[in-house]
Chain A
């Protein structure tokens, strides 16, 4: 790719909606000259700073860890700060940006994430550790860590939640984000309440509502796999008492070194 390609001007088509003046959302085009390494978030900053200060979006860390800038870019959900604009330019030299789908739009790219956080809280996303805290650390084996499939890397950006058609139909569905977090806690040997958590996710709006559409995996900017987490929870939910007993047994040895 030559420098000529990168420094060309592209059209950034943004979905605008100002509840004070607009009856419904509409698209607005801006011309942006790309520079090497420019991300979608950089393009939005460029537009807001130099062209139209009213463009509104959430952002913070700009390097993929805070989860604030999840948006709908060219038909899929991803983080604006981690998406190079050069990869998104379509044949007609346009990049289309909109808010995350299925959530009420507050203004432009800012959406109301109330249902997202409500479902998250329903699974008790915090660790419930044992009462006796060790002097140094709890010991987990490499197998136990691997079984989590990096689920702790989730940054709660909402890309998965907002790509799920089941969420589109029912905001009371727990959702891939909450179920992934429940999976993280259930499989954590330090957690004392796996049976209770499995009970929560077995409710009618829990794991049974996942129809394996797989949009969540495609959307996740961290490459996580909520669907597989949900399948695992489905299996474990059927044997929750045995699982809890095995957990109690495991926790008797949580402070001991792992045998090699």
Chain B
């Protein structure tokens, strides 16, 4: 295997993408409980808003943020000649993703601890 910054970036984009597809269909199923009435919906929603699921939410945030920022990197590369800055762009995506995940994650935890 030929590892490099670009390889890691692609691998993470792919892993986050696959995770998000699986999440998407789970999410559609959860919200689809609306078709079964208020009680079923609330039961399902309560089950996925417990503290352990708040941690999953932060993981979801990380996946979404990373995937989106790496996607923006791809759009930039598609439209501008930025190969000279490829390493900088990879690291920018990693770092900004980490910052946004941290900030968003802390907010989620703060909201949870304040009783929602």
What is the interface of chain A, defined by CB distance below 8 A to chain B? 75-77, 101-102, 162-165, 168, 211-215, 217-218, 225, 227-228, 231, 234
Contacts and interface: CB of A to CB of B under 8 A. Distances in A.
Given A165-B7, A211-B10, A234-B78, A217 B2 contact: no
Contacts of B10: 165, 211-213
Interface in B29-79: 74, 77-78
B1 A217 contact: no
A213 B9 contact: yes
Given A77-B2, A231-B78, 8 more contacts: A101-B2, A102-B2, A168-B2, A212-B10, A213-B7, A214-B6, A215-B6, A228-B83
Contacts, number: 48
Contacts of A163: 2, 4
Q: Is the interface of B mostly helix, strand, loop or mixed?
A: helix
Contacts of B86: 214, 217
Interface string B1-35: 11110110110000000000000000000000000
Contacts of A217: 83, 86
A234 B10 CA distance: 19
Nearest to B8: A213
